[in-house]
Amino acid sequence: MPKYDIDDLDNRSPAAIRRAVNLTRGLLNAFKPVVKGLERLPKGPALLVGNHSGGTLIPDSFILGQALFDAVGVDEMPYGLGHQLAISLPILHHLVVPLGAVRACHANAHALFERGNKVLVYPGGDLDSMRAFKDRNRIVFGPRRGYLRLALRENVPIVPVVAIGGQSTFFIFNNGEWLARLLRTDRWFRIKVWPITFSLPWGLVIGPTPPHLPFPSKILIELLEPITFERSGDEAADDAHYVESCHEVVLGRMQAAMTRLAAERRAFGWKRHFAFLT
């Protein structure tokens, strides 16, 4: 099967998206997901900024995609900026590229905004999706600010997307940043973590886990109000202090929302670990 050019913006297939939604709807309903704030999605170009959960399975990403498909249709769904290594992996490559995944770079994002499209990015990447279980209710972006510079340079609003529950579909004892440095995966593959996890059916695993059989965790997602900034353009994007102050605004709002959603999820009691009972 020939590989896609991951910089080609025309790989996305509406038919593939419809098939994926129809095929996964029943499976995703096992998490009894609740998605709020879809009415806050603005018209025109925008940068959706989300937190990543669930390791390599990322069920919340597929739940978000399904909700957006139902709410706004294929044409208004965002393209996803993906790590070059991740979206080039066998099998995964042929699954996600037709759904709208492109290589994460400013040139691809710029071209998409020029066409009037929306773009989805997960700044935390592996740091976020492989955060330890004790940090499951935290937003973890680390030092990554490229998303903010992109929004400023392109003068597009940021729409924060906060999801919770995906990190409870398996158990991460430690994210293994120290092990990634020891193995030098951070330099060779830009992989900053080498986690120690427990999941079904794999049991105890050291390193990135294959997609696992998820615990049926209740998943909540909310799109927050769009964020715009006083300054934009290249000068603003090159101002490190301004970028950091804008990042703190985004991170602060997302963390406040996650803390609130964590409280809402706890209200389900023990049933939040068995979503089909809620």
How do the domains of the chain map onto residue ranges?
14-169+216-277
Whole-number Å distance between alpha carbons of 81 and 205: 28
pLDDT of residue 153: 98
pLDDT at 1: 78
- Report the C-alpha gap between 75 and 81 in whole angstroms: 17
As a whole number of angstroms, the distance between CA 30 and CA 88 comes to 29
Determine the pLDDT at residue 211: 85
Tokens representing 51 are 């937190």
pLDDT in tens, 112-148: 999 999 999 999 999 999 999 999 999 999 999 999 9
Amino acid 228: pLDDT: 97
What are the mean pLDDT values of the chain's consecutive 10-residue runs (278 residues total)? 92 96 93 97 97 91 96 95 88 92 96 98 95 96 97 98 97 95 89 94 92 94 98 97 98 98 95 86
**Are the C-beta atoms of residues 219 and 33 closer than 8 Å to each other?**
yes
The domain covering 14-169+216-277 belongs, at the CATH homologous superfamily level, to Glycerol-3-phosphate (1)-acyltransferase (3.40.1130.10)
